[in-house]
Structure 1
Amino acid sequence: MNVALWIVAGVLAAVLFASSAKLVIPKEKILAAGGYAAWAEDFSPAALKALGVVDLMGAVGLILPAVLGIAPALVPVAATGVALLFVGAIVVRVRRGLWATAVAEVLYLALAVFVAWGRFGPESFA
């Protein structure tokens, strides 16, 4: 179970790290990517940067506390925050009718809930 939680946390961290590219990519380039990025129309450039920071902090929070052994109890807290982030992403995508990408977000939500459950419960670092 511990190995599965590490793998899932790593996958989520990779997804979040890739998504944090919003920090350096201008809104116009995000919108130019096409239909799946249409959700970015609903946000200002500053809000997109803030979302990029949240993504980056989620990626860091899922991995670094446990790897470094400094406050590893923050991992399930980070996983809970990531789950809330994906709930918001699902809402945005469903409102815009982006059903295909909403399905992926539901999968990521399930993975985040799994990590939070596993690290709060049976495989906690405490």
Structure 2
Amino acid sequence: MDAVLWTAAALLALVALTGGISKTFVAREHLAAVRGGGWTAHAGDGFVRTLGMLELAAALGLLLRALLGIAPVLVPVTAACWVALMLGAMLTHGRQG
């Protein structure tokens, strides 16, 4: 069971890291041109970058806790980042209908 949980956490961290890097460091115009990134055309730069930074923080929270075995406070911080990220996703999808 532990192996399944660690594998799921690693995959989630990889997805969050990939999305966070693209939303934080890639220009919004380039994101809007990519399949699945059309929603960024209607979102502000700050909003997209904030979501990207939340994803990066969530990925770091998952990876650092797993790799270093320190800072148990990262678990609730990571959970809070995911909640904020999902709220942002709900707002985005709600705006687009």
Report how many aligned residue pairs link the two structures: 96
Which residue in the other structure is 2:53 paired with? Answer: 53
* Structure-1-length-normalised TM-score: 0.63
- RMSD of equivalent CA atoms: 2.1
Q: Percent identity?
A: 35
Task: Summarize the Cα distance change of 1:72–1:3 in structure 2 as closer, same or farther, 3 Å threshold.
Answer: farther
- Cα distance in 2, alignment partners of residues 23 and 64 from structure 1: 20
Letter in 1 for 2:57: M
Which residue in the other structure is 1:38 paired with? Answer: 38
* Structure-2-length-normalised TM-score: 0.79
After TM superposition, list the pairs within 5 Å mapping 1:16-95 onto structure 2: 16-20=16-20, 21-34=22-35, 36-95=36-95
After TM superposition, list the pairs within 5 Å mapping 1:94-113 onto structure 2: 94-97=94-97
1:70 CA displacement: 1.8
Unaligned runs of 5+ in 2: none
* 1:30-50 Cα deviation digits (max 9, x unpaired): 11114x222112322232222
